[in-house]
Chains A and B, each alone.
Chain A
Amino acid sequence: AQSVTQPDIHITVSEGASLELRCNYSYGATPYLFWYVQSPGQGLQLLLKYFSGDTLVQGIKGFEAEFKRSQSSFNLRKPSVHWSDAAEYFCAVGAFGNEKLTFGTGTRLTIIP
């Protein structure tokens, strides 16, 4: 069975500082990996996804993520955060051949001035 671990429940970052959100997955084959963002009272919006190929994936809003098979990780990064990045971030893993996603428990990001 596939699973996702997001070890950081809550992260606080100063505006303009860099950001890294951690994600570790468990899956027996090559996974599909996703990062979604959820603002308060909103649905989930896709930031980026990894299927195959280049292990560094670029997404929307200046985010990127790197797939590291040896570490079973797919960490999300942004070089300089903006106050509007404050939200809940979810990592998810999908399986080849179907669309079922397994989500992590999320990381809440707070931005301080």
Chain B
Amino acid sequence: EAGVAQSPRYKIIEKRQSVAFWCNPISGHATLYWYQQILGQGPKLLIQFQNNGVVDDSQLPKDRFSAERLKGVDSTLKIQPAKLEDSAVYLCASSSRTTGGETQYFGPGTRLLVL
């Protein structure tokens, strides 16, 4: 079974530029998550999708971050414009249901450096 795929693996941009990350979850997983992991911290949930609908985006900085999950499969996370404090690893995860306790499977992450 293929795991969660993410691209690119690394990205370096200058502040005020825009950037997009792509995630392909495990086949058949209805729930998809984007996490932000700042160096030295644990992952923080940015947004959770159930199929193509948003379940929780309470911690997503909506003035600069956006995410979509067209057709309930792949997802894209965008930052526009980027700030220095956005430097982090962006992790995508998926799980098969939303009733609680289901294992989340994580991709390798995209490491973003904003200069």
A26-49 CB mask vs B (1 if < 8 Å, else 0) is: 000000100010000111111001
Pairwise interchain contact B107-A43, C-beta atoms closer than 8 A: yes
In angstroms, Cα B42 to Cα A90, docked, is 7
Pairwise interchain contact A97-B42, C-beta atoms closer than 8 A: no
Q: How large is the interface on A (under 10, 10 to 19, 20 to 34, 35 or more residues)?
A: 20 to 34
Partner of A94, one of B4, B41, B43, B100: B100
Pairwise interchain contact B42-A105, C-beta atoms closer than 8 A: yes
Cβ contacts under 8 Å, B48 to chain A: 99-100
Q: How large is the interface on B (under 10, 10 to 19, 20 to 34, 35 or more residues)?
A: 20 to 34
Given A98-B55, A101-B45, A105-B41, A43-B106 contact (CB < 8 Å) = yes
Pairwise interchain contact A103-B102, C-beta atoms closer than 8 A: no
Cβ contacts under 8 Å, A46 to chain B: 103-105
Pairwise interchain contact B31-A99, C-beta atoms closer than 8 A: yes
Cβ contacts under 8 Å, A94 to chain B: 100-101
- A95 interface residue, CB < 8 Å from B? yes
Query: A: which residues have CB within 8 A of B?
Result: 4, 32, 36, 41-46, 49, 51, 90, 92, 94-106
Q: Can you list 12 A-B contacts with CB-CB less than 8 angstroms, sorted by A residue number?
A: A41-B108, A42-B108, A44-B91, A51-B101, A90-B42, A98-B56, A99-B48, A99-B97, A100-B45, A103-B43, A105-B42, A106-B41
Query: B: which residues have CB within 8 A of A?
Result: 4, 31, 33, 40-45, 48, 55-56, 91, 93, 95, 97-109
Q: Which 9 A-B pairs have the closest CB atoms?
A: A103-B42, A43-B106, A32-B101, A44-B106, A43-B108, A96-B100, A51-B101, A103-B43, A99-B98
